[in-house]
A and B are shown apart, each in its own frame.
Chain A
Amino acid sequence: MFRFLIKRLLLASTTLVAISIVTFLLFFAVPSSPAWVMCGRNCSPERIAQVEQSLGLDQPITKQYTDFVQGIFVGRTIDDAGTIRECEAPCLGYSFRSKEPVTDTITRSLPITVSIVGGAMVIFLTVGVGLGMLAALKKGTVFDRVAIGASVGFASTQTYTLGGVLLLVLVYSTGLLPNPHYTPITENPLDWASGMLLPWITLGLINSAMYARLSRAQMIETLQEDFVRTARAKGLSPGVVNRRHALRAAITPIVTIAGVDLGAYLGGVVITESVFSLNGIGREAAQAVTDLNLPIVMATVLLAAFFIVTMNIIVDMLYAVIDPRVRLG
């Protein structure tokens, strides 16, 4: 177990390094310089050169990259258009647009994304998986057909259409739900929840559909497995068999997928955030790409990758815990 963990962590860090390098290189391929965006329309070539210099863009690319890495681990000093700034570790750079360390931007927008994803996750893990499991147990009944029909339907819609229709019907036309907005949970938990309700429902419904289909398939497959048959043959009640044996086996792959999804979503749900006008990390990233705001792009890409990689490791470990058949080695 320990050896496995070390090995996975090492591999994961190489992935993160590679991603940071690729992202870095990518932005050097951009034909227009961030200095243009910063300096504005009255900018002469000399001024662009000055701005580039102060941004460190005139340095060789390797130097810029090592500066960036150094910032993450030990912090660094940034010369921002003549202002010297101390950026403490973990320093992800300095955002020229918002005039603040990138970590500030992240700490402001990440809670929004976490709120959206967390709530939606609860919905699709309970509603989705629950429905799927039930449908599997009642396979072939009307309930099964309706549940599975609805889930194929929802799985075929997209956040921007479903979200749009829900906004129109539930918010603008009838006022049944409040406008999506973000209030920190520490400030007012009730307002936090009410502001997040619509994104939760939208993202939750679409993903519930997917999870329902998935868990139904898994459960049906598990119910046909030998160990379930053995348990039944032993004379255990169907309830006990379903709960103790089948459910546990069927849930394993779902946990895996849920973990990977969580990792992917925490990096930003751009479309959901945009549809509901919430400036989470996904939208920050999208905005940064448009502005050529490299420090933010680097940070958001790395963070997203970090979540995915970490969740992968956690999922693998969980896998061993849930499924006694898996031995890590």
Chain B
Amino acid sequence: MRRKFGALPIGVLTVALVASGCSETTNDPAGGNQQSVVQTGSIATDPADSQGPAKAVEGATKGGTVKLLHAAEFEHLDPQKIYVSDALSMATQFARTLTGYKEDGTGALKLVGDLATNAGEDVNGDCKVWKYTLKDGLKFEDGTPITGADVVYGVSRSFDPEWGVGPTYIQQWLTGAVEYNTTYKGPFQSAGAEVPGLKADGNVITFTFPQPQCETPYAVAMPTTAPVPQAKDTKGDYDRKPVSSGPYMIKEHAYDQYIDFVRNPNWDANTDPIRNAYPDGIRVEFGIDAEASANRIVANAADDQTAFMWANVPAAVLSKTNTPEVKERVKAGPSQYVEYTWINTDRVTDLKVRQALNYAVDRDAIIKVRGGTDQFGSTIISPTIAGYENFNAYDGGPTGNAEKAKELLGGKTIKLTYAFPNVPVRQQMAAKTKEVYAKAGIELVLTPLDPATYYDSVGTKGNQYDLIRGGWGADWPSASTVIPALLDGRTIRDKGNQNLAYFNNDEVNKEIDRIKGLKATESAAEWAKLDKKIMTDFAPLIPQYYIGNYEITGSKVGGTFLSDSYGHLTLNTMFVKP
């Protein structure tokens, strides 16, 4: 999944002009490169894990309203369209899915049945047929019971060719094709037709895949499987007001201004193993960029004590979070996101050049532009992924090795175009990157692109860019949502590519197929090996850093932690301190 660019901070300032006078700023050697916790993601085998209610949080009380300060409207609220981390985190509260993540803030991520009674039943033991049974007593916000048909209808909507913005795993797996909607086109264009491979019988839902898909329990945790009542489907307008199956529902949605979520009276805590739903309401306020949000929450005025944010505290505000009182309210940790500079292998065909680019990169300088909550990263998969192994195929030290790069280039000077979204922080990082590569005799031509259509421009095969800024986060803690999604050359299309290196290698493709057929327990280490092989032998990208999360809450927000599933402060256990 993708992350926001760190929205355009049409932004605001900051705290304590007075407080900060003339003290010396000293270098903090501990900075950027701390070692991170590796997640222990697992699929629950005990059905008791999937039973509600959720375990109470110590010291938690019911009541109050928490307030999310957010830069811009969620791109989507329609569960079948959601694919950005902020909306994914929000959706956990109004769109329940077949499975979900149970977390306690210690890094132990357990996948349990959410709507379903368990994490999934591999009927024949070959990962091809998966059976889910819905719990009893599940209801939509209007009181109508949630049935298997509602889940199937939800999935069917994700096939609509005009949408194409949500995750595509389930659709591709069901049809066994990358272009999943050539025959079946969703309930609007193929009204009456059946979703291929998907059946509901009362409360039982069966997925039948042509190929083995051993990670189905994870895939159905994405909001693709959120139930939608057909009678209340308002198509395009559903994006504004989806029907809730979770503990909260939308009371008022003033677009670009705010959303008020209130309790869903028809949600039954006894069916829900994941959510505590302590606050009486969740208010989301839009138009407050990260700078303003962070400053407000740091200042902790009465109104903002129940506030929190789903964006990193920006670099400029970081130093204001150093006092113990504020530090206590910061939640920092690793995320599943890795930042890359893609090398367009259609254009930069010389492996030596790609290796030189990898040697010369000054990660230290680049991280500092963003304010140092990230960690040096030199692998394709992030440390939060099962099987992760730390290595650097082109170790030029933290500040890069321009000499080694020059040596590889053999004295040539080269000129490359560098595409990035035209938002301030990316501009600065691009300027920094240009400066860094100049030292190795590589001239970068900076081409800032319109952020709204950035991925359209760079995702078009045959584009004119040599280097492309990009980033990726695993959809669940397995490299199967990273390497195949990004580097399987057979997925390259004319437009809308994720493989921004346009890298296509038979050997790698075969290896991808082989590992995909393995059980999750065996595949983890194999993916890590493939990661190393791709970097060493082909260098189609330059991993820059593992994005670190650094979010903050007001003093009255309790019980929350950074969720390992979507990388933001979790609402599941959040409560308002009295």
Q: A residues bordering B, Cβ < 8 Å?
A: 32, 36-37, 39-45, 47, 50-51, 54, 80-83, 97-100, 104-105, 108-109, 163-165, 167-169, 171-173, 175, 178-179, 182, 274-279, 283-284, 286-287, 290-292
Contact = CB atoms under 8 A, between A and B. Distances in A.
A168 B459 CA distance: 41
Contacts of B441: none
Nearest to B239: A99
Given A40-B165, A81-B162, A164 B255 contact: no
B10 interface: yes
Nearest to A270: B10
Nearest to B293: A277
B17 interface: yes
Contacts of B239: 99
A47 B162 contact: yes
Contact of B298 (A51, A172, A278): A172
Interface in B451-475: 451-453, 455-457, 459
A179 B254 contact: no
Interface stretch (B97-105, B143-151, B492-500, B501-509): B492-500
Given A172-B298, A274-B12, 16 more contacts: A32-B453, A36-B453, A40-B164, A41-B165, A41-B496, A43-B495, A97-B73, A98-B240, A173-B18, A173-B19, A279-B256, A286-B10, A290-B8, A290-B452, A291-B452, A292-B452
A105 B256 CA distance: 9
Contacts of B296: 171-172, 179
Contact of A41 (B10, B451, B459): B459
Contacts of A51: 162
B215 to A, nearest CB: 20
A32 B450 contact: yes
A178 B455 CA distance: 39
A268 B455 CA distance: 30
B180 to A, nearest CB: 10
A82 B188 contact: yes
B162 A172 contact: no
B13 A287 contact: no
A56 to B, nearest CB: 15
Contacts of A104: 255
B16 A178 contact: no
Given A50-B162, A108-B254, A45 B299 contact: no
A105 B255 contact: yes
Main secondary structure of the interface of A (DSSP, over half): helix
A279 B456 contact: no
24 contacts: A32-B453, A36-B453, A36-B456, A40-B165, A47-B161, A47-B164, A51-B162, A97-B73, A99-B239, A109-B257, A163-B12, A169-B17, A171-B301, A172-B14, A172-B299, A173-B16, A178-B301, A179-B304, A274-B10, A277-B287, A277-B289, A279-B257, A290-B451, A292-B452
B456 A43 contact: yes
Contact of A287 (B12, B256, B292): B256
A297 to B, nearest CB: 13
Interface in B283-330: 286-289, 292, 295-296, 298-299, 301, 303-304
Q: Which 7 A-B pairs have the closest CB atoms?
A: A42-B164, A40-B165, A98-B255, A164-B13, A279-B287, A274-B10, A172-B15
B11 interface: yes
Nearest to B307: A179
Main secondary structure of the interface of B (DSSP, over half): loop
Interface centre among B236, B304, B457 (most CB of A within 10 A): B236
Nearest to B299: A172
Interface of B: 8, 10-19, 72-73, 161-165, 168, 188, 235-237, 239-240, 254-257, 286-289, 292, 295-296, 298-299, 301, 303-304, 450-453, 455-457, 459, 493-496, 498
A80 B453 contact: no
Contact of A168 (B16, B288, B451, B495): B16
Contacts of B72: 287
B288 A165 contact: no
Contacts of A50: 161-162
A276 B77 CA distance: 26
A302 to B, nearest CB: 19
Given A39-B164, A172-B298, A179-B296, A276 B496 contact: no
Contacts of A99: 236-237, 239-240
A279 B258 CA distance: 10
A109 B254 CA distance: 10
Given A168-B15, A169-B17, A179-B303, A108 B257 contact: yes
Contacts of A173: 15-19, 299
Contacts of B162: 39, 47, 50-51, 54, 81-82
Contact of B13 (A37, A100, A168, A182): A168
B450 A98 contact: no
Interface centre among B17, B19, B452 (most CB of A within 10 A): B452
B456 A100 contact: no
Contact of A167 (B12, B254, B303, B452): B12
B414 to A, nearest CB: 28
A286 B451 CA distance: 14
B144 to A, nearest CB: 23
Nearest to A100: B255
A175 B15 contact: no
A80 B236 contact: yes
Contact of B494 (A44, A83, A100, A278): A44
A108 B49 CA distance: 45
A159 B262 CA distance: 37
A265 B73 CA distance: 25
A99 B235 CA distance: 11
A45 to B, nearest CB: 6
B12 A165 contact: no
B256 A42 contact: no
A292 B453 CA distance: 10
Contacts of B456: 32, 36, 41, 43
Contacts of B255: 98, 100, 104-105, 108
A178 B240 CA distance: 30
A82 B235 contact: yes
A39 B12 CA distance: 31
Contact of A175 (B17, B299, B493): B299
A105 B257 CA distance: 10
A54 B450 CA distance: 24
B10 A98 contact: no
B237 A40 contact: no
Contacts of A39: 162, 164-165
Contact of A100 (B8, B240, B289, B304): B240
B370 to A, nearest CB: 21
B260 to A, nearest CB: 14
Contacts of A175: 299, 301
Given A179-B303, A277-B288, A37 B236 contact: no
Given A44-B495, A98-B240, A168-B13, A37 B453 contact: yes
Contact of B256 (A44, A45, A109, A275): A109
Nearest to A44: B495
A173 B457 CA distance: 43
Given A83-B237, A277-B287, A40 B299 contact: no
A293 B254 CA distance: 18
A98 B453 CA distance: 18
Contacts of A292: 452-453
B235 A279 contact: no
A275 B288 CA distance: 9
B8 A40 contact: no
B299 A171 contact: yes
B158 to A, nearest CB: 11
A42 B497 CA distance: 8
B17 A165 contact: yes
B17 A178 contact: no
Nearest to A276: B12
